């Protein structure tokens, strides 16, 4: 994993595919074949984590080492409370072209399978973890998709909460052409988005759709000429909201249809009770009332230099992570 930070005034700047580059550099340039440990780049831009698939010469086609890195980066972000939103993108010409054909050849020869490597007692293998880890994050994950997002690439994007796609993006699950099925949680993530009938049509034919059709089908959230810029703008907006409210919102919406209604509604009440009167909830009200940017502490001591800050109402329960 490549780790960098970016902030205003530094010589490095966020590029239009995620990550950082020296000022004036080509946004598509990168190592021609990153070795193990460099296939995924992680950049912190304030409270937004930018995760960039980083094999641009192969249009970010994944091999087992890359899948393992993706899962490891996701696990790292799960443990980082400073992260308030994540943008998932790809370096170079596309998001991800799918499985590296060299890895596919080894797999069909029985030399390499991603299913044999999983944590003890885990029901999720390495390939599935590279997708499902984004569902497990307490904060929203936004995929910025340009170029191809095929097979494994589309399944990785399906792990995100929101998908912003370029009009010319190409999205599809091509496994049927290889005599296989989507094996990175795609069979579970696709039907709730597009409906079981459309999911079957897309998977059984391997049909590839462009960005506009992806939005029409519900496969993507919205179109943008520059998906990365749009994703970053949205991530920054979300990162500026109360962290506990953001975590609670994601968790509650993810519960919809997955648990009994009575349990979901009871949890909704529990979450709002845990938020009311906390320093961050009071700060949200004050910032809105005084038309100023909020300063959230996410459970820390309330700031003392803000106008009309009332005394802390005391500790409250946390929400969703």
DSSP states of 227-255 as a string?
A: HHHHHHHHHHHHHTS-HHHHHHHHHHHHH
The torsion angles phi and psi of 281, rounded to 5 degrees, stand at -70, -40
Q: Name the catalytic one among 69, 175, 237, 260.
A: 175
| SS3 state at 189 | helix
Give CA separation, 140 vs 83, 89, 158, 273, 290, in Å.
10, 14, 13, 22, 27
283 is an active site residue: no
Helix 186-194 to helix 196-205 angle (10° resolution) is 130
Closest-CA residue to 54 (of 32, 78, 71): 32
Report the C-alpha gap between 116 and 118 in whole angstroms: 6
Which residue is it, tokens 């005034």?
9
Strand intervals (E) in 117-185: 141-145, 148-150, 162-165, 170-172
Q: How many CA atoms lie within 13 A of 118 on its CB side?
A: 14
Residue 17 CB contacts under 8 Å (≥ 6 apart), including other chains: 27, 28, 52, 89, 90, 91, 92, 146, 228
Q: Are 151 and 158 in contact (CB under 8 A)?
A: no
Active site residues: 175
């Amino acid at each position: 994993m490549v780790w960098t930070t970016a902030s205003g005034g530094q010589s490095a700047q966020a590029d239009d595919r995620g990550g950082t580059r020296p000022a004036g550099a080509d946004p598509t340039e990168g190592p021609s074949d990153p070795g193990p440990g460099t296939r995924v780049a992680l950049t912190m831009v304030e409270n937004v984590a930018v995760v960039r698939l980083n094999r641009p010469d192969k249009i970010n086609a994944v091999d087992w080492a890359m899948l393992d890195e993706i899962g490891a980066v996701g696990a790292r972000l799960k443990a980082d409370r400073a992260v308030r939103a994540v943008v998932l993108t790809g370096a170079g010409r596309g998001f991800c072209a799918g499985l590296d054909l060299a890895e596919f050849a080894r797999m069909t020869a029985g030399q390499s399978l991603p299913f044999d490597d999983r944590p003890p007692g885990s029901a999720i293998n390495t390939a599935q973890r590279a997708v499902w880890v984004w569902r497990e994050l307490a904060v929203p994950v936004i995929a910025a998709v340009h170029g191809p997002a095929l097979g494994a690439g589309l399944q990785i994007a399906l792990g995100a909460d929101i998908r912003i796609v370029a009009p010319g993006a190409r999205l599809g699950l091509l496994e049927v052409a290889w005599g296989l099925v989507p094996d990175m949680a795609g069979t579970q993530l696709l039907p709730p988005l597009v409906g079981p009938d459309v999911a079957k049509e897309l998977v059984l034919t391997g049909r590839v759709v462009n960005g506009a059709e992806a939005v029409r089908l519900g496969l993507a959230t919205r179109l943008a000429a520059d998906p990365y810029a749009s994703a970053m703008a949205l991530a920054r907006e979300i990162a500026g909201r109360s962290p506990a409210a953001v975590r609670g919102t994601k968790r509650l919406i993810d519960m919809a249809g997955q648990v009994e209604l009575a349990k979901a509604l009871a949890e909704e009440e529990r979450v709002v009770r845990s938020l009311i009167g906390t320093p961050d909830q009071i700060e949200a009200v004050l910032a809105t009332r005084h038309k100023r940017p909020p300063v959230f502490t996410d459970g820390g001591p309330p700031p003392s230099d803000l106008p009309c800050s009332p005394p802390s109402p005391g500790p409250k329960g946390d929400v969703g992570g």
